[in-house]
Amino acid sequence: MSYNSETLKILNETWQAFKVSTKTNQAKAAKAMGMNQSAFSQYLRGDIPLNTDFVAKFSIMTGSQIEGYLTKVAGNKLHLQPIAIKYTLSGRKLVDSFELMPSPVNLDHAYAILVDYSDFIFQRGTLLLVDTEAEIREHDAVVIISKNNRPIYGVLSFKENEWEILEPHYFGGNRVVVTKTMVIHRVSGSYNPATQGKIFKK
């Protein structure tokens, strides 16, 4: 398998996301992959051409599916970028801190929220994509983060001279009044990572 400059870019973006989320430096990463720091750095710079052995070890170290993703990207089928998963919708502690996803735009100002409810309008495992720079209008899907770090997702509306968010759960949602001290961001879309289940065939 041959890799191009696009795959090297994705690998570096994944490394940056992993490094920030786990506070791992190059020396620790190189040791975990069974090589010295100099070689690891040269792979990231492109001085040493990427190969399947390095990509496989990198995938295991970061706990990501980058090996499979880069194989697809090498065939120019996908353009993938890492996006930080900052919260779960329930407020539970995160297991994974980032996900690779196809995107035609830069994701530097975005983050994701993992849906871990079964009674939510989105399938469990869906990532809600949050844009921290987007303009917000009435009827937009938005998210605010509560004091206990639980995201509150819903549709924004203006009623009786105040803004409120309605949480959309199958069994009834809560109405949350938006105050001036709350940080609110627009949810620009959703993404369903590939599952590991059996492939459907008729």
Write down the pLDDT at residue 105.
61
Please check whether residue 186 is in contact with residue 134, taking contact to mean a CB–CB distance below 8 angstroms: yes
CB count within 10 Å of CB 10 equals 21
User: Can you tell me which residue has the tokens 């961001």?
Assistant: 185
The rounded distance, in Å, linking the Cα atoms of 76 and 66 is 15
Six-digit token string for 91: 């407020």
Q: Is domain 83-188 classified as CATH 1.10.540.10?
A: no
Per-residue pLDDT of the chain (202 residues; tens, 9 = 90+): 556 777 788 888 888 888 887 888 999 888 888 889 999 999 999 888 888 788 888 887 887 766 665 655 555 444 667 888 999 988 888 876 878 777 656 677 899 999 988 777 788 888 999 999 889 999 999 999 887 788 989 899 998 889 999 887 655 568 888 988 888 999 988 887 766 667 777 7
The rounded distance, in Å, linking the Cα atoms of 52 and 74 is 12
Write down the pLDDT at residue 197.
65
Write down the pLDDT at residue 76.
47
- Sketch the domain layout of the chain as residue ranges: 5-78, 83-188
Write down the pLDDT at residue 82.
81
Q: Which CATH number fits domain 5-78: 1.20.1560.10, 1.10.260.40, 3.60.40.10, 3.40.50.1820?
A: 1.10.260.40
> Among 111, 100, 97, 114, which Cα is nearest to 24's?
97
Six-digit token string for 115: 């849906």
Write down the pLDDT at residue 194.
66
Write down the pLDDT at residue 97.
80
